[in-house]
Amino acid sequence: MVNSVWDVLLADDLALLLLTPDEGRRTVSARRAQLALAGALLSELLLAGHLAPDPVERRLVPVAGAGPGGARLQRAGVVAVQALPGHLPTQLGRVAQEEPWAGATGALAAGGVLREEQRIVLWVFPSVRWPLLDAGPRKAAAARVVGALREAVQGRPVEPGAASLVRLLAAVGALRRAGIELPAQSGWRAAGRTVDVVARQRAVPPHLAPALTDLELAVRRLAAGTSEGDVESGGSGGAWGGGWGSGGDLGGDSCGGGGEGGGDGGGGGDGGGGGGGD
């Protein structure tokens, strides 16, 4: 069972959804996983009011008197604030370099949710899996994602944390690979179209919405290995007064890329194959 003392972060739920439910293999490359979880940490700091968007400097800045709770959130906030040059993509990259994946899986292991299993493949190559010991937290995280998609389709407000899960999964091409069972009337084509609707329907103050969208776009761009100019424009992208993130929205689960065995390149979205942890 989960340790009741352990405070579950958005990054922990996201880490669970980036693992296959049966074998505990990571469904995206290590690089994409680090970026997605860095995005989750910064999203949680924004949603909790510990960081705020600065549209002039185009970065996240600390909020006076709002010290983040918990060591992992606190570390992410410090790294983001100290990142130079300080635009949002740089802040995201610096937090990703702190290996948030290890932090999340370590917390999940300490909470009794999974275990880390290291092996050697073909006598040479190291391999790591994270098989689940308690499937409940992952099922709960998957239910949040399905609920967010359903609420968006029905035109209802979407819970901010659930919206971030949907958008960050899509940003690294992992929404379809998460093994989520959609409602019978839905399909993955409809889910992909709904990703942008989720952003518009999330229940956050107006000043936070563009910052969260820009953060998710930064995850997508860095995960895809592209600069901001390489991403198609149009759609409902970030709106920091015409700042760096004024490009297109995520447009569905389209980052592509293989699983843990496939590295960071190539791929044609989630329909283009999975990839395991080995």
Tell me: the pLDDT tens digits for 153-181? 889 999 999 999 999 999 999 998 987 77
DSSP class of residue 270 equals G
**108 lies in a domain?**
yes
Domain total for the chain? Answer: 1
Predicted confidence (pLDDT) per residue in 34-58, tens digit: 999 999 999 999 999 999 999 888 9
**263 lies in a domain?**
no
Q: What's the domain range around 62?
A: 10-117+127-256
Predicted confidence (pLDDT) per residue in 84-126, tens digit: 777 999 999 999 999 999 999 999 999 999 999 987 767 777 7
**262 lies in a domain?**
no
Q: What pLDDT, on a 0 to 100 scale, did the predictor assign at position 13?
A: 98
Average pLDDT over residues 53-75: 85
Q: What pLDDT, on a 0 to 100 scale, did the predictor assign at position 127?
A: 82
Write down the H helix ranges in the chain. 10-17, 30-47, 71-82, 88-97, 100-110, 136-153, 160-171, 188-201, 209-224
Q: What pLDDT, on a 0 to 100 scale, did the predictor assign at position 37?
A: 98
Task: Select the more confidently predicted residue: 226 or 174.
Answer: 174
Q: Residue 239 pLDDT more than 60?
A: no
Structure tokens at 102: 């290890």
Q: Per mean pLDDT, which range of 59-63, 143-147, 186-190, 213-217 is the poorest?
A: 186-190
**109 lies in a domain?**
yes
**25 lies in a domain?**
yes
**5 lies in a domain?**
no
Q: What pLDDT, on a 0 to 100 scale, did the predictor assign at position 68?
A: 57
**273 lies in a domain?**
no
**275 lies in a domain?**
no
Q: Indicate the residue type of 147.
A: G
Q: Residue 233 pLDDT more than 60?
A: no
Q: What pLDDT, on a 0 to 100 scale, did the predictor assign at position 193?
A: 74
Q: Indicate the helix (H) or strand (E) that contains 118.
A: strand 117-121
| Chain length of the chain | 278
